[in-house]
Amino acid sequence: MWDVVIVGARVAGAATALLQARRGARVLLVDRVRFPSDTLSTHQVQPAGIDMLERWGLLKAVGNAPGHERVRFDIDGIVIDGAFPQRGRLYSPRRTVLDAALVEAAAGAGAEVVQGYHVAGLLRADDGRVVGIRGRDGSEHRAGLVVGADGKHSLVAREVGARTVVEAPVRTVASYSYWEGVELGHGELYHRRGRAVAAFPTNDGLTMVYACAPLDEFDTWRRDPERSLLDSLGNCGDLGARVRAGRRIERVRTTNDLPNRVRQATGPGWALVGDARMVMDPVTAQGISNALRDAEQVVDRTAMFRTTQRIARLRPPGAILRPLLRAVAGSEARTTRFLGVFAGTVPPRITTAWLAGGRSRTPRAACPR
Ligand SMILES: Cc1cc2nc3c(=O)[nH]c(=O)nc-3n(C[C@H](O)[C@H](O)[C@H](O)COP(=O)(O)OP(=O)(O)OC[C@H]3O[C@@H](n4cnc5c(N)ncnc54)[C@H](O)[C@@H]3O)c2cc1C
């Protein structure tokens, strides 16, 4: 019996597994693919997402992708070129790099990771509550909570019948690929009538170039995606010339599978995170940061639930908790953070791991300052 079983091990699933395992939960993380594995996605991680990776000690998950404090945004000739607030940095790590590093970190935190495991269905109790997963191989895993981090076509969402809360039509078709030898400082974004274009430095000195067009151009666009992509740069200053001066080193990937949808996030025994919960057109590059945020939120909520169950047993603090509570009592700053958790103004991250007792791995090192 697991505390949490997570279906899907990319940004949403691996981050959820990592954070749950760090709080002492018994976590099973499964994915039908094996990592490193690419997926149809460009990969700007907004400063809010980078901030989370940094807080979790995982900024290294971006590999050798460079970070930039600035971005250049040209909207129909109006150029907004400047820095993110609070010295935030944007990185654009390849998903082969980022996802694999998160999976490795989740395993390092104590989550059991099973790759090449295809979930075929969910297990239910008599009252309909979700109590586990069933694999294509016939194996079953029971859990207190099943998290669907299985992307926009989520099997978990389908099986539990998660309601669609908001939906908008598919609006764009998008293509992207990778070039070497492109002169590019920080990221560049262009919005023109009927086109959006992005060029960002990524791992190994490569440049990712992305363009999208209205969905009703799909048939003409896909006849020659490379041409469609490069023609879209024609109206973006000298970006087209700089990209053509480089060399494309991977195939052009094209998709119109770009839904916009928000689903009900939780139900009895289940929760959805990442694209399974909310998916939107990638034109604003929010999905990865949203997935990381979801992971933190679902973990904070379940951590507080577990903490409450411990406290409600009304037992005196044990051998691990007692010295930690003394450490809190002896510091004004720690006391404020500790009280903030119950006040609802400080996320219950580290403090609840102490209170959960017993299986907190490094309670002393984890003392909030
Ligand atoms: C063209 C494009 C460009 C994008 N660009 C950006 C960008 O620049 N920045 C950004 O932030 N976001 C971008 N996004 C969005 C981003 O890709 C998603 O938001 C993000 O991948 C969501 O992560 P996730 O972990 O929720 O799901 P996913 O990345 O979809 O991962 C789901 C995982 O679940 C696994 N899975 C599914 N079903 C099963 C099953 N039955 N059994 C076992 N495993 C299963 C899959 O194998 C997969 O590994 C882009 C998307 C597209 C399509």
In a domain, 53, yes or no: no
104 and 140 fall within a common domain = yes
The answer to whether residues 326 and 367 touch, using CB atoms and an 8 Å cutoff, is no
**Residue 48, domain member (yes or no):** no
Residue 279 CA to ligand 1 center (angstroms) comes to 9
Give Cβ neighbours of residue 91 (< 8 Å, ≥ 6 apart). Answer: 44, 45, 50, 62, 65, 66, 67, 68
**Ligand 1 center–CA 9 separation, angstroms:** 9
4-to-53, 112, 178, 199 alpha-carbon distances in Å: 21, 11, 37, 38
Task: Specify the CATH number for the domain of residue 26.
Answer: 3.50.50.60
Based on the fold, state whether residues 193 and 247 are members of the same structural domain: yes
Q: Is residue 326 part of a domain?
A: yes
Instruction: Confirm or reject: Cβ of 43 under 6 Å from ligand 1.
Output: yes
Nearest Cα residue to 295 out of 156, 169, 148, 115 = 148
Residue 88 CA to its chain's centroid (Å): 18
364 Cβ below 6 A of ligand 1: no
Three-state DSSP class for residue 263:
strand
- Does 366 reside within a domain? yes
CA 301 to CA 299: how far, in whole Å? 5
Same domain, 147 and 176: no
Instruction: Output the pLDDT for position 351.
Output: 52
One domain, residues 187 and 328: no
Q: Residue 275 C-alpha to ligand 1 middle, in angstroms? A: 6
**Does residue 309 lie within any of the structural domains?**
no
**Length of the chain in terms of residues written:** 369
CA 194 to chain centre: 29
Q: Give yes or no for residue 271 having a pLDDT over 90.
A: yes
Q: Looking at residue 303, what is its pLDDT?
A: 74
Q: Is the CB of 33 under 6 A from ligand 1?
A: yes
How far apart CA 197 and CA 238 sit, in angstroms, is 13
Percent of the chain past pLDDT 70, that is, above it, reads 94
Q: Is ligand 1 within 6 A of the CB of residue 13?
A: yes
Domain tally, the chain: 3
357 and 341 part of one domain: yes
Residue where the block lists tokens 């920080």:
186
Residue 132, phi-psi category: left (phi > 0), alpha (psi -120 to 50), beta (remainder)? left
CA distance 31 to 42: 20
Same domain, 109 and 32: yes
Q: Is the CB of 30 under 6 A from ligand 1?
A: yes
Q: Which of 46, 150, 175 to mutate to test the pocket of ligand 1 (most atoms within 8 A of CB)?
A: 150
Ligand 1 and 287: CB distance under 6 A: yes
Structural domain that includes position 211 = 66-93+171-256
Are residues 299 and 189 part of one domain?
no
The pLDDT of residue 241 is: 97
In a domain, 271, yes or no: yes
* Domain match, 37 and 124 both: yes
Decide: helix, strand or coil at residue 259.
Answer: coil
131 C-alpha to ligand 1 centroid (Å): 25
Q: What is the per-residue pLDDT across 83-92, written as a single tens digit (0 to 9) for each?
A: 999 999 999 9
Calculate how far, in angstroms, residue 10's C-alpha sits from the geometric centre of ligand 1: 7
pLDDT tens-digit map of 149-168: 999 999 999 999 999 999 99
- Asked whether residue 52 is domain-assigned, the answer is no
Residue whose CA is closest, atom 22 of ligand 1? Answer: 275
Q: Are residues 82 and 109 in the same domain?
A: no
* Residue 145 and residue 39 share a domain: yes
Does residue 124 lie within any of the structural domains?
yes
What is the average pLDDT value for the chain, to the nearest integer? 92
Q: 257: CA distance to ligand 1 center in Å?
A: 12
Are 229 and 131 in a shared domain?
no
- Alpha-carbon distances, residue 88 vs 57, 111, 207, 290 (angstroms): 16, 30, 21, 16
CATH of the domain at 198: 3.30.9.100
> Which tokens hold the place of 97?
């790099």
pLDDT tens-digit series, residues 206-228: 999 999 999 999 999 999 999 99
Query: Do residues 178 and 298 share a domain?
Result: no
